[in-house]
Amino acid sequence: MANRRRTVAVTATWFRYRWLVALAVAIAALTAVQVSALWKAPSEMTPAITGGGLWSDAEKIADKIERRLHHNPADLEASLLQALLHFREGNLPRALSLLEQLTRRAPNFHLAHLVRGDLLLAQFRPLTGIGNNGVMNGLGLTTSEPVDRLREEAQARLQGYLALLDSTQVPSVLINLAGEVTSAVVIDKSRNRLYLFENPGSDRPPRLLGDYYSVFGKAPGNKQERGDMRTPEGVYFVVGHIPGEKLPNRYGTQAFPLNYPNEFDLRFGKTGSGIWVHGTDRDYYSRPPQDSDGCVVLTNDDLQTLGGYLHPGVTPVIIADHLEWVSPTEWRSRREELVTAVEGWRRDWETDIDRFLTHYSTDFLAPGSDLADWRRRKLQLARGQENRQVNLQRLSLYGYPTAASSSRTLVVADFHQSYRAGNFSSEMDKRLYLVQENRSWRVWYEGGR
């Protein structure tokens, strides 16, 4: 908390000088050479950069920006990148005009002020890198922590935004969405990006609605214990909503708690709680890429847009270190494989209890019982119950991020189960964790949800 207060205090001091700094700062020297190239005029670019850099497909980039602004004219990130694209194409007056409008609309968007200052400076001298000029040296800000953090934010925004230009691809973790799951969130920590998908129904792949810059924990890696400053990785669900008036200022305008620790986390002894998707301190537009205590942080504007799609008890939030993207054909193939596996489990429960029990992993665990206890109870119940009828409705299937699953290939299955046998009947919402063993899917965990 002390570090957070120190960073905020330094940032506030620096921001008071932004109009002077903006005339001298160059944010060009991002760590990746492809990103640094965006500041150079086309005539200064090498063939390798213009052919293979992040901006190599300018037409696709422009199209994506135009679509985002058409959908949401108030999209500040898209406006910033549109200005950068104009600058890269040699239209400096248009770029400066867009940035002037942007900084008026969002006076606390520090990064936009820095970029505008860079482009003003570009009228008089080449941009060589952040802080490499006399004015910055004179202000003593060449190693300013806030400037460094803004450089990190710029890099994260650019690389994350430009990474996904093919919107027909689907995250491999979104295998099947039930009709009630109208939207889903997937997060790529390596790109500081949150992706919002809608469920189009009719057995069609999820459709991308938007993607947003996101902030994660100060420490890298998957959360293991309370206070480790890491953002957890796994399949989670929104479990509530907290309006802004009930939150301290640092959490922004609203928050959506997640169900961390989930069943997988608990089995492996992970600790901690209070992992939320929340907004940004109202005094600032955004935060550096790794700046939270473990939560997922968005700008208040982006969370306002996203919030309408987050439904407690329904919406999944899947957090991965790296997302894998697949084609619609690959998506359909994997979906069919997993739906068939769940149907085989259901069918054998109705017709052959011995074969049904082969669907369970030797490492199986349920609340209060292991595989031996589970087998004993199921066999005992089966002897007294004939003509079993098992119906599954509202099936959703989510791939568990590989890096977070302890080297297992896991899938989370959520559904509503109706069971009838003789005079007995039951209804419940159930969750299975399926693990791939010897090219077959077996139940690793079973319980209510």
DSSP class per residue in 357-409: HTTEEEEEEETTEEHHHHHHHHHHHHHH--S-EEEEEEEEEEEPPGGGTTT--
Q: Which CATH number is associated with domain 170-324?
A: 2.40.440.10
Supply the pLDDT for residue 143.
Answer: 56
Supply the pLDDT for residue 407.
Answer: 83
pTM: 0.86
Supply the pLDDT for residue 121.
Answer: 78
> Strands, E, within 294-357: which ranges?
296-297, 316-320, 325-326
Residue ranges per domain, the chain? 2-163, 170-324, 326-448
How far apart (Å, rounded) are the C-alpha atoms in residues 130 and 145?
12
Asked if the peptide bond before residue 261 counts as cis, ω within 30 degrees of 0, the response is yes
Supply the pLDDT for residue 59.
Answer: 81
Q: Taking Cα atoms as reference points, which of 97, 88, 108, 79 lies closest to residue 28?
A: 88
Supply the pLDDT for residue 128.
Answer: 58
Contacts of 163 (CB under 8 A, 6+ apart): 191, 193
Supply the pLDDT for residue 359.
Answer: 97
97-153, pLDDT tens digit by residue?
A: 999 999 999 999 988 988 888 788 777 766 655 444 444 555 555 556 777 888 889
Supply the pLDDT for residue 114.
Answer: 85
> Strands, E, within 80-233: which ranges?
170-171, 174-176, 183-188, 193-198, 207-213, 216-217
- For domain 326-448, give the fold: Nuclear Transport Factor 2; Chain: A, (3.10.450)
Residue 372 C-beta-side C-alpha neighbours within 13 Å: 0
Burial class for 193, CB neighbours closer than 10 Å (0-12, 13-18, 19+): buried
Supply the pLDDT for residue 179.
Answer: 95
CB 263 within 8 A of CB 413: no
pLDDT tens string, the chain, 449 residues long: the values are 444 444 444 444 444 444 334 433 333 333 333 334 444 443 343 232 223 355 567 788 888 899 889 888 989 999 999 998 888 888 889 999 999 999 999 999 988 988 888 788 777 766 655 444 444 555 555 556 777 888 889 889 988 988 887 778 999 999 999 999 999 999 999 999 999 999 998 789 999 999 999 999 999 999 999 999 999 999 999 999 999 999 999 999 999 999 999 999 999 999 999 999 999 998 899 999 999 999 999 999 999 999 999 999 999 999 999 999 999 999 999 999 999 999 999 999 999 999 999 999 999 988 888 999 999 998 988 887 778 999 999 999 999 998 888 888 999 999 999 999 988 899 999 999 999 998 999 999 999 98
Residue 391 β-bridge partners: 418
Fold match between domain 170-324 and domain 326-448 = no
Q: Taking Cα atoms as reference points, which of 219, 217, 221 lies closest to residue 275?
A: 217
